[in-house]
Structure 1
C-alpha cells in the first residue's frame, strides 16, 4: 500500500479531541489564552480525569492537591499541562491490531520523550517540553502503519527482531518509512513545521537542510535508549556518543557527559495513562 493510501483510509485514522488540537496549535501562538484552554480541558471529563491523576502523582511532587486544570497550570505550568493533555489525547486515539503491544509502544515512546527532554537541557534555546513531545511522537507513524497495514508489516517486524533497522527495511519494501508517515500525520494534526521536520529527519538529521535541531535531539535520545537496553556502561555510552550530531545541534556534551548516569533513571511521569 502506498503512503497516500494509508491516509486515504479515513476510518482508520486517529481522531483527537478538539481541545487537544487547540493545544497543538498553541505551540505556534505565544499569546495563547491559557485560561480559555484550561476551561476547555475541564469540559472534557475523560481528559480531565487523566490529567488530574498525572498531576497528583508522586512524579510531579506538587505541594497540594491538584483539583482542576487551572490548578495544574498554576502549580506545574502551561507547558507541562499541555504535555499531559497531548499524551492523554494521543494515547487514546489509536486502536492497535491484535498482537501489537501498544502499552510497550507507548512506554518506549515516553522513554524517548524523557530522554529528549533531558538532552534539550544541554542545548541553548531548546524548549524541553517541545523536545519531549517530539520524542514522544517520534514513532507515531509506526503505530499508524500497524493500524492500517498490519499484514504488510509482519515481515518487517520479523526482520527487525533479527537486528535489522526498521526504517531501512520499510523504505526498501514499501518506499517510505515510519518517519515519513509520522511527519505526514503531524502535518494533518497541524503540529508546527519544526516538529514535523523533527519527526521526518530523525534517522539522518545531519543529512537534511535546513538542519533540524529537534531531529538531532530525537536521534541522540534513541541512541541513549538503545544503549540502556544493551546495558552499556556510562563509559561506553560516552565513547560511542553520536558526537557529530551533538556538535551540530549545539549540545554541551561536557556537561551532558558528567550527568549521563542520570539518564538510566529518567521517568516521563506518564506511564499511569496506560493502566
Structure 2
C-alpha cells in the first residue's frame, strides 16, 4: 500500500483551525473541576452576548413552562442543567467545525454533531450506570469533542473511502483508524489530540480524544474516562448515528471489563435513553420537533 506524507499539510490545517471561543474553553476548564462553583460559570457566560441570548431563549421555551420568565444566566442554569448548557455552548461556539459535511467520510452536514452529541449522552449514561469515580459531566464533555479530528483529515481522505472500507472488510487492516493511518500516516484521534493540545484543553480530555479507539494505550490516570467515551462511541453508532463510511468499522476493546462491569441489557437500556435524550436535546437547541 502506498503511503503519502500529508503530515506538513495536516499540521498546517491544525494551526489554521479557528480557535474555540475563549468563553467555551473557560467553561470546559471550569466544568473539568468537580468542585466548580456555579457563579464561575455564570460570570464567564455573561461575557458572551450571543451565547447568553441563546441560553435564555432555550430556558424560556415551551419545554420549560414557568410563571416567571428567566431573564439572566444565573436563573437559567438551574432550569437547563449543566449538560444541556454545555451542549448549547459547544454547538454555539463550534458550528464552523461540527456543521460541515465530511466528504472524506461520505457523511452529510450535521452528522458529526449528531454523532458527537449521542456519544456524549451515552458516555454520561454509562458513567452513571456503572457508578465509577469519574464525573458524568467530564464523560459527556469528552464525548462531545472526541471526533473533532475528522474535520481536519476529511479532505485528505476524499475519494479513498471505498478503498478503506474494502481494506477493513478484507482484514487487510484492523479497523478504520488503521486505514486512515495507511493513507495519511496519522488518524483522526491523533489529529484531534493535536487540536485539543493546541487549544489547551485539560489533559484528561486530550487523552480521551487521542485514545478513544484504543483506550488500553491511554495512561492509567485517564483510561477509565477513555473507555467511557469508547463505549459511548459504539453505542451511538449502534443507534444509527455515525459519521459516514466508518460507522461500526471499529472494534470494541474489551479492556473496560478490568475497570467496570456493564451487561448487554445495560447497554440496550442506555441506547434507549440515548435516543430519547438526543431527541429532547436536539429539539431544545435547534427548535426541531421530533
Give your verdict on TM over 0.5.
yes
With over 3 angstroms needed to count, the CA separation of the structure-2 counterparts of 1:114 and 1:38, relative to structure 1, is: same
- Tell me the number of residue pairs that the alignment of Structure 1 and Structure 2 aligns: 260
SS in 1 for 2:159: helix
With over 3 angstroms needed to count, the CA separation of the structure-2 counterparts of 1:261 and 1:223, relative to structure 1, is: closer
Compute the displacement of 1:186 (Å): 1.2
Is residue 113 from structure 1 mapped to residue 124 from structure 2 by the alignment?
A: no
Matches within 5 A, 1:63-82: 63=66, 65-78=69-82, 80-82=84-86
List structure 1 runs of 4+ shifted beyond 6 angstroms: none
Aligned to 1:23: 27
Is residue 256 from structure 1 mapped to residue 263 from structure 2 by the alignment?
A: no
Q: Is the 8 A contact 2:124 2:136 kept in 1?
A: yes
Aligned to 1:237: none
Cα offsets for 1:164-192 (capped at 9, x unmatched) = 44312111111110000111111122221
Aligned to 2:142: 134
Q: Is the 8 A contact 1:48 1:69 kept in 2?
A: yes
Aligned to 1:190: 200
SS in 2 for 1:223: helix
TM-score when normalising by structure 2:
0.74
- 2:56 pairs with 28, 38, 52, which one? 52
SS in 1 for 2:140: helix
Distance 2:176 2:281 in 1: 26
Distance 1:182 1:243 in 2: 20
Q: Is the 8 A contact 2:124 2:137 kept in 1?
A: yes
SS in 1 for 2:20: coil
Q: Is the 8 A contact 2:125 2:270 kept in 1?
A: no
With over 3 angstroms needed to count, the CA separation of the structure-2 counterparts of 1:54 and 1:145, relative to structure 1, is: farther
Q: Is the 8 A contact 2:224 2:256 kept in 1?
A: no
Task: Flag structure 2 segments of 5+ consecutive residues without an equivalent.
Answer: 169-174, 242-250
With over 3 angstroms needed to count, the CA separation of the structure-2 counterparts of 1:27 and 1:188, relative to structure 1, is: farther
With over 3 angstroms needed to count, the CA separation of the structure-2 counterparts of 1:51 and 1:161, relative to structure 1, is: farther
Aligned to 2:185: 175
TM-score when normalising by structure 1:
0.77
Aligned to 2:245: none
- 1:102 pairs with 84, 92, 109, which one? 109
